[in-house]
Amino acid sequence: MVVASIDIQGGKVVQLKQGADLVLQRDDVEALAREFDKYGEIAVIDLDAAMGKGDNAALIRTVLPLGECRAGGGVRTVDDAARLIDWGAKKVIVGSTAFRVDGKFGANGFGTNLAFLEALARRIGRERVVVAVDAREGEIVVDGWKTRTGLPLIETARAVAPLAGELLFTSVENEGMMSGTDIEALRALKEAVKQERDPTTLLTVAGGVSTIEEIRMVAEAGADVQLGMALYTGKVSLGEAFGESLNWKKCGGMIPVIIQEARDGQVLMTGYADREAVRETFVRGNVCLHSRTRDVLWMKGANSGQTLRLRRLRADCDRDALLAVVEASAGVCHTGAWSCFATDQGLRKEIACSLPKGDCPRSFSGDSWKPPRGYLNIRAASLTPYVPGEQPRDRAYIKLNTNENPYPPPPSVIEAVRNAASETLRLYPDPACTELRGAIAARYGVEPENVFVGNGSDEVLAFAFAAFFESGRAAHEGLPVLFPDVSYSFYPVYAALWDVPCETVPLRDDWTLDATDYLRENAGLIFPNPNAPTGLALAKIAVARIVEHQHRIGKTAIIDEAYIDFAAPGLSAVDLVKAYPNLLVVRTLSKSASLAGLRVGFALGDKALIDGLCRVRDSFNSYPVDRIAQAAALAAVRETAYYDGLARRIIQTRERVCAALAPNGWTVLPSSANFIFIKHKTRSGKEAFQRLRENGILVRHFDRPRIADYLRVTIGSDEEMDRFLEVART
C-alpha cells in the first residue's frame, strides 16, 4: 500500500527537510486529499501541534472526511485520539507520548508508555493505533525529532508491537533528503515485529524514499511506504508507486479485482488486472482490466458506454488482490443486470441510508463508503468539483495561471458599464438578450435565432451537456460521450453532474488530437479548439470531418472555441454551423474580449440546438445574464478592430516568449491560444511550478497523469513575461 503524506503547518501543506527546513508550501489541502484518496490512505499530520506551536484542528477536521485518512501530530491523550476518530480518521498516529512516562524515557523497563497505549487500544481499537518509531542512527527521537530518548529502535519496536496495529518507521536522517531510506534497518525492524506473539502488526516506512526501485524493495520486505517529498517534487507518481507496491510475484502477474459501487457499497463484478491495466486505470480514470480470453487490455465500457469511473483503488493486506471503488454509469453485467451478483440497482443503498447514522452495516456499505456529508444527496456528495486557478490574497503575484487577458477592455465598454449602472437595475434584464444576440449574429454571419447567450461559456457548456447528452440508464444504446483525455477539466465534472456516460480519448504522444479516433459510434462529443491546456489547434478540415461523421450518425458535436481568437485566421468552425444542424460552437468574452470579470459566453448553432439550450436555461434560471453584463458585452462585440489589435499583440508576445524559452532548457508546444504549455528538461512540473511561485509568479500545474511535468503559462503583458523569462531561465 502507498500512503500519501499531507503535513500541515500554519494552515498550509508543507514539506520540511529533516523536520526543520521548509522546502515547499501549498494551499490546496482539500484538493490534494481528494486526489490522493484514489491511490491509498492519506497521512494527515498537524506539525504545529506536534511541535507545541498551536494547531490546525479546524482544517484537519475538514480534510479527514475527504478520504481514508490516518491522522497524527500532537496526540497526547486518549481523548485527543478519540476526537480524531470522531472527525473521520481511520487510524491515529502517536509518537512522543508512547515513549514518555512521567517525563522520562524507558522508565518502566520496556521503553514504552504501556498504560497510555493499552488505554488507547481499548478506546479506539488496537487496529487503529499507529505508533511512530522515528529513529536517528538507530535511536528513537521524539518531539518533532528534536529530543533523543536513548531508546534503541529494534528493542523498542519489539516492545510496542503487541500494543499497536501498525508501526510507522521514519529514518529521520533521510527525511526530506530523497537520498534513499535505510532498507537494512527496515528489514531488521520487520523481522523484530514478525517475532511477536501477534504477527498482524503492519509496518510502514517513511523518510528518504525517492525511486520506484526503492518502493519495490520496501514492498518486497513486506512493508508499506509513505511518500512525502518525492511525491510533491514529482520524483514519484502515486499511480506508479501503487502499481509497484503490489505483490505481483505471488499472484503470477495477474491480480484479481473486486469492483464495488461507491454509492451503495454493492459488489458489481470481478476481473483481473496486470501492471498495464492498473496503470491505465489511473491514467483514464475508468477501470481497465486484462482479458484472459483475448489476452489484451480492455477498459470496461469502451464500446458499451457502461463505464466504471474510478473513485479509489485499494490493495488487500497481502497486496495480491484489489478493490476498485467506482461509480457505474449503467448496468455492468452482460445479461443487462445492474450487477453480476444482483439485479436491483440501489437496493442496498436504500436499506443502508434508511438506518440511523453510524448503524450502516459493513455488509451494506463497505469500509470505503461514507454517508453523504450533512444533508447532501448521494450524487452531490460524490462529486469532484472543478478546481479553478489559484487566487491568492497573501501577497502580490504576477498572475499567469487563469488565462485572463492582461489588457483592459476599450473605453466604450467601460462607459457602457457606467451607463448600465443606473436606476434600471431594479428591473430584471432581458432574458433573451435580444440586442446582444442580434449584434453577435451580425458579427458572425448568422441569424439571432442561431445565438444563445449565457453566464460565461462554462454555463453554456453545462447547459449543452444537459440538453444534448443522455444521462444514466436513458443513455442511448449505452454509448459514451467522447472528449480528449487531456483537455478542459470541466468536461468530466459536467459528465458526473448530469450522470452522462463518457469516455476520454487519448491524445497522440505529440499531444495532437487524432480525428480518426472520433469516427466511431458515440453518444456525442466535445473538444476545445485550440485545445486546453496544450494550446494545440486541430485543422479545420479535420474538424469538419468529425462534424460530418457526427451528422451521419445523428449525434451532436460541440466545438469549444474559447481561445480561437488567438489562433490562425480561418480556423474557426463557425462557418460550418449553417451546413451542419448538429454542430454547436461555444465562445467566450472572458479571454480575447478582456471580460472575465463579467461572465458572458455564447453559442452558435442550428435553431433546434439553440431552442434546446433555452429549454434547459429556462428550467434553471431565466435571467442568467444581468443588465450590466449585457451592456458591456454588446459594446465589446462592436469593438472588432480594438480586440483584433489586442490579439495580435498577445500573439507577438507569445511567439517571443516561446523563442526565448526553447534554448533555455524548456520544451514548448506550438500554441494557438493565449497561453503556452511547457516542460523543463531537468525539473519536474512541481519543482518548476514552486520555483516560479517562490519568485512571485503564478502559473498552472495540473498534477494529473501524462501532464504532471508540464506547466500552463498565460501570456501576460510584455513586462510580466520579461519577469517570467528572467526566473524561467535560471
Q: Which of 670, 721, 632 minimizes the C-alpha distance to 413?
A: 632
Type and span of the H or E element at 685: helix 685-694
Average pLDDT over residues 604-627: 94
Task: Report pLDDT digits (tens) over 187-216.
Answer: 777 777 764 445 556 888 877 677 888 888
Average pLDDT over residues 168-197: 67
Residue entry with cell 494550446: 535
Say how far residue 439 (Cα) sits from the centre of its chain.
Answer: 39
Return the pLDDT at 371: 43
Q: Which of 598, 534, 596 minimizes the C-alpha distance to 567?
A: 534
Give dist(CA 284, CA 700) in Å, integer. Answer: 21
Task: Report pLDDT digits (tens) over 485-512.
Answer: 999 989 998 998 888 889 999 999 999 9
Going along the chain from its start, the domains and CATH numbers come out as 2-244 (3.20.20.70), 255-373 (3.10.20.810), 398-405+644-728 (3.90.1150.10), 414-638 (3.40.640.10)
State the pairing for strand pair 296-299/288-291.
Answer: antiparallel
**For the ranges 164-168, 285-289, 381-385, which has the lowest average pLDDT?**
381-385
Return the pLDDT at 173: 67
Q: At a CB cut-off of 8 Å and minimum separation 6, what does 173 contact?
A: 18, 136, 137
Better-scored residue on pLDDT, 372 or 293: 293
Query: Cβ(250)–Cβ(206) under 8 Å?
Result: no
Return the pLDDT at 67: 86
Instruction: Indicate the SS3 state at residue 2.
Output: strand
Average pLDDT over residues 611-616: 95
**For the ranges 35-39, 58-62, 174-178, which has the lowest average pLDDT?**
174-178
Type and span of the H or E element at 612: helix 607-618
Q: Is the pLDDT of residue 80 over 50?
A: yes
Query: Cβ(162)–Cβ(197) under 8 Å?
Result: yes
Q: At a CB cut-off of 8 Å and minimum separation 6, what does 289 contact?
A: 257, 271, 272, 273, 277, 297, 298, 299, 300
Residues identified as active-site: 7, 134
Average pLDDT over residues 565-592: 96
Q: Is the pLDDT of residue 586 over 90?
A: yes
Query: Cβ(52)–Cβ(74) under 8 Å?
Result: yes
Q: Give me the half-sphere count of Cα atoms (radius 13 Å) on the Cβ side of residue 376.
A: 12
Percentage of the chain modeled with pLDDT above 90: 47
Instruction: Indicate the SS3 state at residue 464.
Output: helix
Return the pLDDT at 591: 96
Q: Cell numbers of 397, please?
A: 503575484
Return the pLDDT at 408: 96
Q: Which amino acid is at 36?
A: F
Give dist(CA 699, CA 712) in Å, integer. Answer: 6
Query: Cβ(177)–Cβ(187) under 8 Å?
Result: no
Query: Cβ(705)–Cβ(239) under 8 Å?
Result: yes
Q: At a CB cut-off of 8 Å and minimum separation 6, what does 291 contact?
A: 297, 298
Q: Using pLDDT thresholds of 50, 70 and 90, give the confidence band for residue 445.
A: very high
Q: Is the pLDDT of residue 252 over 70?
A: yes
Return the pLDDT at 595: 97
Q: At a CB cut-off of 8 Å and minimum separation 6, what does 559 contact?
A: 526, 527, 528, 529, 543, 547, 573, 583, 584, 585, 586
